[in-house]
Structure formats: C-alpha cells, structure tokens
Structure 1
Amino acid sequence: MSNLKIRDFTFYSFVILIIGLLLSTVIVFFFLQKIDLLNKKLTCLSNSKNSFLELKMNTENLLSTLNLEDKKIIWIKSIEEFDKQINTLTLEQKNRIGKLWYISKKEISKIDKILENNILQPQNLHKKSILSLQGELFIKDKNSELYKTILSLSRKIEFLLQYQDFIFQEFKKMDIIDKKTINKQIENMKIYSIFSSTIILIIVILTILIINKKITKIEKKLIKSQSNLSKKIEELQEAKLLLNNIIDSIPIAIFWKNTDFKYLGANKYFLNLAGYQVQEQIIGKTDFKLPWNTKDIIKYRKDDKSVIETGKHVLKTEESLLTKNKNRLDIITSKVPLTNTKGEIIGILGIFMDITDIKKMNEELDSKNKMIEQQSKMAAMGEMLENIAHQWRQPLSVISSSATGIKVKKEFEILDDEFLDEAINRITNSVNHLNQTIEDFRNYFKPDKKLTYFDIEECIEKVLFLTQSKIKNRDISIIKNLQKIKIFGLKNEFIQVIINIINNCIDALEEKNKQNKYIFFDSKVNKETNEITLEITDNADGIPENIINKIFNPYFTTKSNKNGTGIGLYMSKEMITKHMNGTLTAKNIEYSYNKLKLKGAKFILSIPIK
C-alpha cells in the first residue's frame, strides 16, 4: 500500500463517490418517473370516467330536452371527447370496456342516422321533448311516420343507455382495483428507492472512510521514514483536503462519534444544520450541546447506544430534526459501527437524508386519494338518498290519503272517532316506517347490522297494512297461504323487500284492464336445504321475455322517470343475497284459480331459516 500515491487514493475516492451519487440519483429519478407514470394512470382513468359520465348525461338529454339540435351537437362532441379519453387508458383498461364501447358506437351510429331524418326538424317537434311528443302521438296518431321515427329513436337510446350502464359498472370496478394496485406499487417504489439510495451512500461513505484511514497510515509511515518528508506531507494534506471537500460536497449529513457519544467530525451539510462553520466547533461535543430538541436527542442516544453495544446497524430510521434556524425536518437516519484494525468498535458513523419534500409529495398523493374516496362516498350517499326516496313514496302516500280522508269527512261533517283513530294509526305507523327506513338504509352501509328471529307472516301483514290504500283503490284481492315460520335475518330489510315487490305487482296490475286482480302469497319450508321459500304471484300477464333478465339490474325500469327509478328490485336483491344469504328470482307462470286461467309474474325468495 505504501507504494501507492496519495493522489491515487483521492482519485479513487472521488470516482467511487461520483459513481455512488450517480447511482443514487438514477435510482431516485427512475422511481420518481415510475410514480409519476402511475399517478398519470389514475388521472387518465378519472378523466375517462368523468368524460363518460358527461356522455351518458348528454345521451339521456336527447330524450328529455326541448332543443334537440343543440343537444345533438353536444352529444356528438361528448362522444368524440370520450373517444380521445379512451386512448389515454392502458391496454388492459381498454380491453375491459372495448367490446361494450364497440357495441355502443354501433348504436350511436344508428341513433345519429335517425337524428338526421328531416322529420325530426324543430318545426315538426313543436318545441316539445321526444318523450312528451311520443306520448301525445301515441294517443293521436301512432301510425304516423313521426311517431314511428320517435319511437325508434327512443328505443335505440334506451338500448344505448343500458350498455352505458354496463360501461359505468366497469369504470367503478377499475376505479377500485386499479387505485389499490397502483397505490401499493407506489408505496413499494418509495421503499425501494430510499433503501437502495441509502445502501449505496453508506457503501460509498464507508469506502471513503476506509481510504481516508489508509491515507492516515501512509502519512505516519512517511513521517517516520523522514524521506521526502515535506513533499509527502504536502501531498497527504492535499489528499485529506480533497477528501474533506468530497465529503463536504455530498448533499446529505454525515457525522461520526466515539464510544462516549462525542462528535469526532461531520461534513458541512451537518454543520450548517447545527449552526456551526467548521468541524473544530463540533468536535468533542455531544448532542445535548447542539440545537436539537431534547426528546429527539433521547431517541438519537438510544440508537447510538444500540449500535455501539450490539455492533448491529440501525438503518432507515425515520426521525425529526430541529435545526439551528428552528426548522423542523423529516429525516431518514442510518448508523453503523466504526471499528479499528482489531475489529473493536471505536465509535459510530451516521448519515441522514432530508425527506421533508418527499413526505410532502406523499401527503399530496394521500390528499388526492382521499379526494377520490370522498367522491366515491358522495356517489354512495346519492344512491342512498335515491333509495330512501323510493322507499318513502308509499308511506307518504298513506299519510297524504289518510289526511285527505280526515279533511273530506270533516268538511261533510261525517268524521267519526273510529275513522279518525284508524287514519291516525295509519299516519303514525307510516311516520315510524319513514324513520325506520332512514335507520335501515343508514345501517345498509354498516357491517354490524343486528340479526334477529322474526315471523314472516307478521312481516307480510305489516306490508299489507302499509299498502292497503293502494290495494283497495285498485280492487286487488290478496290471497294468502302462509305458514307460521320464523327466520333469522334483518326484519326491516325483509319488509322493504316485500314492499318493493308488492309495489311492482300493484303497478303492473294497474296497467292492465282486468276485472279480477290478484296477488298471491305462498310460503313453504324445504327441510332438505333448511330454507323457507316465499312466492309472490300476480296475474298481470307476466314480464316481457326480452327484459325479465334485466329487472334486477340497477336503474333498469320500464316506467317513466316520474314513476320509477330502477332501484327497488335491485336493492331488494342486494338485501336478500348480501345481508340474508338468500336468493331472489322472478319468472313468468300460467296457473288456474277459481276456474280462471291466469298468467303473471312470480317472485321467489329463498332464505335460510338459520
């Protein structure tokens, strides 16, 4: 070793340092680029989803707007915009919605072709929306070309909206899955980046210190030899100066202490944070003489003691540091033991890196994720409010009709106590049901719903009580064949399910001009499967075969926007399957009753008894 020149040592130290810094910089830059790409994926997915929601809204507006020409232009622009946004998605994301969008675009072409029909000029539409004009023409002249064109247009748009619902569901799935996957990847990249950079820098610093140690030995040998003493000393001093300059140029804090926890030296980065100018000002001092916070110093001392006593490294410890300027920094600290030639521990070497900016970037990322989560919560809240509105319709109708009955009888002076008590009881029960509905739907988003045993027949009687005014007003006969059976589940949700099904049966019967209207209730126990089966059947001629498989889809309805939301049956199936581990299905059936041949829809609920 004595034959090597000091300049060789400094040159090698400088090369090692440059290589280490370059490697650290490349690693950090690589992972930051990866994180940026992953964030862009989230942004592209969010933009595509928002663009699609705008397209869906503009599609719905074609039916309800009075300015068809203007809305058509907006609709076409939103299609073009969504096409652009799709191209920003990943190949996997494109494949998820590609087929659905391909079919949707075929329907869009058909709709666009219909919209080009001259018969849909503003003067023929009489400043009316497509839906309102369709209803008028159906009554006045359903054989007219205008009616047929409007009917074809509305059906194509409804078919397109169904596919757009499917696409929206795919977006929701991608939103949840991709966000979780990408955030996990980002977290891993941050860990790998910090770990890799720290290890490389430790290796570089240890290498430099080892070289520095060897330089010192050479210096002693040169002094003892007294050969070319002045020249060798000058070279050695230059080498040490260069080495110190290299250490001082490293953009991280470096320090080393003896076994008494006193500082033996530090680089300029460290000295600046401590409020000192030169190394001599810090040598011999402990952390308690520095401007650090006392609580932080206790933590530093604990780690120092662990390294000295055990000889084990303390790596990647996240800590805080209060500088001389009272700035609070977040740092990542690593400490390793310093040993002599005999392998004895003579102190510790430590480095720390300022990660305040990195943490700030992480906080911004967390803030963005929280915003996305908040948007999801707001969407869920909107669905819940819509569901509550759907469930409130019947109790509010009962309250309104009961109050009207009281007012009319009072005006004609025929109000008696029996009718008044009955009406007040209906109003009270309906108000209680409204309150319970709020509680039930609030609990719908909680996993800790209370399950109880309840009697099916009692629940059905409660439903019939709540809906008795609608049933009586439409001359519907209720036929019951029920057994006294108790099941384990959510009573109020079960009642809401029955109400939803009954309301659908009542609405279906109301549309049919039949002399005899029936709703049948039948229950039985399957001892082999230990399940209760409840069947609810009407005689409203059944559900069209082309839509029977869609009636449990969210937002699917055959009613007008005023009378239906498409939520009732969907929520009913969700409650039965997810909260009571049962099934809810529907089918068309032909049967006989009182020598009458009847046809209708049958809803079948199968629920485990326990």
Structure 2
Amino acid sequence: MQDEDMVNLDFFEKLFENYPDLVFIINAEGKFIKTSKGVMKYGVNNIDDLIGKNIFDFLKDEKKILVQQQLKYVLSNHFTKIERIEFETLNGNQYFGEITASLIGNESENSVLILVVIRDITKHVHLERELKENKKMFQLVIDNIPQYIFWKDIDSVYLGCNENFARVAGVEKPEHIIGKTDYDLAWKKSEAESFYEIDRVVMELNKPEFDVIEPQLQADGKEAWLKTNRIPLHDSKGEVIGLLGTYEDITKQLESRLALKESEKKYKTAFNRAEFYKDIFTHDIGNILQSIYSSVEICRICKDDPEKINELDILLKTIENETNRAARLINNIKKLSKIDSEEKLLKSIEIHQVIRNVVHELRIKYLHKKIIIIEEFIEKLNPVINANEYFEDAIYNIMLNSIKHNESKVIKIKIRTSLLTFHNHYKVKIEFIDNGIGMLDAQKEVLLESRNYKDKSIFKRTGIGLLLVKKIINYFDGEISIKNRIISDHSKGTNFTLIIPFKLNKDY
C-alpha cells in the first residue's frame, strides 16, 4: 500500500472514530461491524463490547418494524433517512436520534454493509416539547381571559386567537382560525372591510389604536358593540410583522347607558308634565277659591242689607257652581293619573251615540243658556272605535269648553264626522266647531305640546279638562288638533278636531 493511501486510510479512520455524531457500520441483519467512539457517551464502556450486538436491541418495540423496513429500503435504494427515532442506551436512558443510512458494500460479492449515522437530537426534541408545553400554557392562559384576543400577520391573516374570539367568529377551535381573514368569518362584509382598514392604519403607521368602538355581527346572530385595541407587533429588527388585537363586548354597558338615558328622559318628561299639571291646577284652583272667597265676602255684606238679600241666592249658586268646578277639577286630575297607570282595557263604542249622550247631559246642565247643536254626521256611517268610558269624558270636556268660553247670546256648536281612508285602514274625523272666544296660539301650544309658560295667564282656557282630552285621545292612538274657526281671527271661535282609528259597521 502506498504512503498516500496509508495517510488517507488513517485520516478516515480517525474521522470515523471521532466524528461528533454516532457512526456505525452494520451488516444486512443489523449487527454492529464497526462503531465510532461516540457510543461511549451512551453507556458503552468498551467499543468492543458493542461489536456483534444488533442495533434492534437498542430500539423500542414499536420502532423496530420501522427500522427493519428502512434497512430493506436501503438495500434496494442505497439511502434512507428517518427524522426521529427513540433509542434506549445500555444504562437505560432514552434519547432521540435522526438516522441516515447508506449502502456501502457490494451485494453481488456478499459484502453488503450499511453506514449508519445517528445525530443526537434529544435536546432539540426536549426544547420542542418545552416550546409546545409553553404554547399550550399560553393558549390555556388566553383562553381563560374574559377578553377577546387575536393576532394577525402583516397581511391581516389570522395567526391565532383565544376561545372567546373563536366562538363569536364561528370557528370550532382557536387553531382553526389560522390562515383565515375577516372576510371568512361571521361578521358582515362592511364590518370585515372596516376591520381590515383599521389594521392597515395600525401597521402602516406603526401606531397602536385604543378604545375603538366598533359593531360586530357574531356567529350566534348577536349584534354586538366592541371596544377594541390594536397594537403593532415587531420582529427583532423592529420591523412591523403583524398586530395583536384585544376587545371587550360593551353591548350590555351601552344598552344600560341608553336605558338610563331613556329612563332619565322619561323621568324628566314626567317631572315636567307633573310641574305643568301642578301649575295649571294651582291656577284653576286659585281662581275657584278666589271666586268662592269673593262670593262669601259679598254674602256678608248682603245679609245685613235688606235691599240686597235677594242676591244671596245668586251668590250661593255661584259658590255651589265653583265647588262643583273644584270637584270636577280634582276628578280630572285623578283620571289623568289613572290613564298613566291603568292597563289599557278597550271595548267597542259607537261615536255618534256617545256624542248624543253628552249633548243631552249638557243641555240639561245649561238650561238657562240658548245652545244650538248642529249635527253633520256622515250618512249611513256608524263609526265604532276601540275605547272606554274615558272617551265620553273627552267629548264632554271639549263641548263644556265650547259652552263655558262663549260670550255669544246664542251658543252654536257644529259637530261633524267624516271618513278618512289610509291604505285600507280607516279613521274617523270628529270636528267640534264653536263660536266662542277662541284660543291664542300660545294657548294651543300649551295644550298640544304640554309646554310650560311663565305667563300664567296663558293657562286660561287650557285647564286640566282639555289636557285630559289630549291624554285620552292619545291613549286611543288618536290625534288632536286645534284651529281657528276663521283662520285669520282666533277670537271668532275654535275648531277642535279628533282623528281616531275605527272599524266600519258591516252594513256600511
């Protein structure tokens, strides 16, 4: 053998023995023919003790079949690689190796040998397991956080999320969101577009966005409101590589806030209405008491003056009327309160019959006045509405107002009914047109809009009775309007108009 060959042989021998990975030469049956010194790190005291043993003695049973198959593969294909295999050393320890095997003998000369290199990847496997456990722990932590968490790459493609987010997004498990975009999830297209645009702003400007209020259609159909935070994520060089997002569902808070505002609005409205009623009541009851007091004072004067003794009957009648007026005022206040608190129980009521009943009652009450009632009821129409006894109170108070606030020698009240049709729905229009003293526009506003005025004289002719009318008509889903009988002159009388839903008589 030449010197050069001797040098090469010596070099390869030393390389074989001292190679950092485990190196073996085995025959086709798996018996060790030669091995590197590296085996001594795995419980082998003497290399010679390994020669003649079989590689399968160091494999777990479930891996033996796999290695046998791969060795057969080497015989026909000259090379194979097994990425991960678990071994058991002579001292009982386990380690993981990556195996490569190459055919180095000549099968035709019955000298089939296989070169096996095993790279120890135990640390890598343990590190991988630790990483997997850490990832599992991280996922467990974020899955138990009540907030909704997600993270995306630079293209707004999802890389992960917690269970809360997966649930509302409509994916079965957090890992199923990987690779999806907002367009693949449960939200509306417009919402997905909005989410994408905000992502772009955060990543392109490299600036976080906090407390962004956004709507979101969730997988269960819920329309939610979110308070969202987005923070850019960076690599080791500080370059933006994606974003982390968190949000909380603030739907209940918003609903509670809106409910509170609505409650405050209702309370304020109720308070203003109560103040308004109080002012009118104070005004009306003050007038009544003043009238009674004046009558009492005049009675004291008349009782000692024989010439005026006959006026006592008139004064007593005035006191009686004012007392009745006070009783009616209190009764109307009670009805206003009851309408707000009572359950709406309605029945069928014939409008024309109610009007005629009220006309009859008022004629008896005001026998001393000349009153002409003109009925212009629509022919063959007998309108029936869903109402209750309050409807008669409304008609009574309108007509009473037309009589009381009328300085004409002959009081005229025209009552007209007509039919209105709205897309197969019917309403009856009832007009009470009088020749009384009329109403100022401010008085109409007080009644129709429940406005309060510092000038208490505005309350004249807008007492509790007409407020009760408005309340009752609204209670029956109707409308009320007040106009001048003669448009250009409010002092020539008033037209009270009611519009109420009704059902036609079947004979009409």
Q: Normalising to structure 1: TM-score of the pair?
A: 0.30
Larger Rg: 2
Q: Greater helix percent: which structure?
A: 1
Q: Normalising to structure 2: TM-score of the pair?
A: 0.36
